[in-house]
Amino acid sequence: SKATVSVLNWPLALTRVLTMYGDSFDDDDNDRGRGGYEKLRNEQEQRQQQRQYDTHGLAVDAAIAEEKARAARDIEVGVNEIAAMQNEISAMVEEQGAELTQVHDNVQSAHTKTEGGVASLQKANKSARSARKWKCVGVVIILVATVVVIIVMSTNKS
């Protein structure tokens, strides 16, 4: 914990600090006091440098973490886009499959109707031939009947 030291109490505070680090500060032992003071000062400078490094290190770590988070979000967005594209492609393939099935059914239906049409045309052709025969027979019968009527009428007149 940090304690505020007034200007008047600094020797007492320095003694406490030096005592914490294993040195004592006596007024009659100046060499040792200076050594303790120098040691304290060096330790304070080291702590200050460590704090600066820690602050800078934390900032760097935070920047790295932020960059990793941004990269993870970018990857997540990319994966979501790919998933959406895959869903769209699946829907298109399914739709095209349904359309292909419908086209196949239509072709099958057209084939069946074409076969039915060919059969109907063959039947109509056969019926037309048969009808022609009957027409010819009918015409021949009418001609024969007409000739017979003409002959009968001409024999009756004479």
Convert the pLDDT of each residue in 37-78 to its tens digit: 677 778 878 877 776 666 666 666 777 888 889 999 999 999
Residue 5's pLDDT band (cuts 50, 70, 90): very low
For the chain, the average pLDDT equals 78
* Residue whose C-alpha is closest to residue 41's, from 19, 14, 10: 14
CA dist 69 and 75 (Å) reads 10
Is 27's pLDDT higher than 80? no
Is 30's pLDDT higher than 80? no
More confident residue, 133 or 112: 112
Torsion of CA 37, 43, 49, 54, to 10 degrees: -140
The pLDDT value recorded for residue 118 is 93
The pLDDT value recorded for residue 28 is 46
40: exposed, middle or buried (Cβ count in 10 Å: 0-12, 13-18, 19+): middle
Range in 11-20, 53-62, 84-93 with the lowest mean pLDDT: 11-20
Range in 5-9, 78-82, 146-150 with the lowest mean pLDDT: 5-9
More confident residue, 87 or 60: 87
Q: Phi and psi dihedrals of 140, rounded to 5?
A: -65, -40
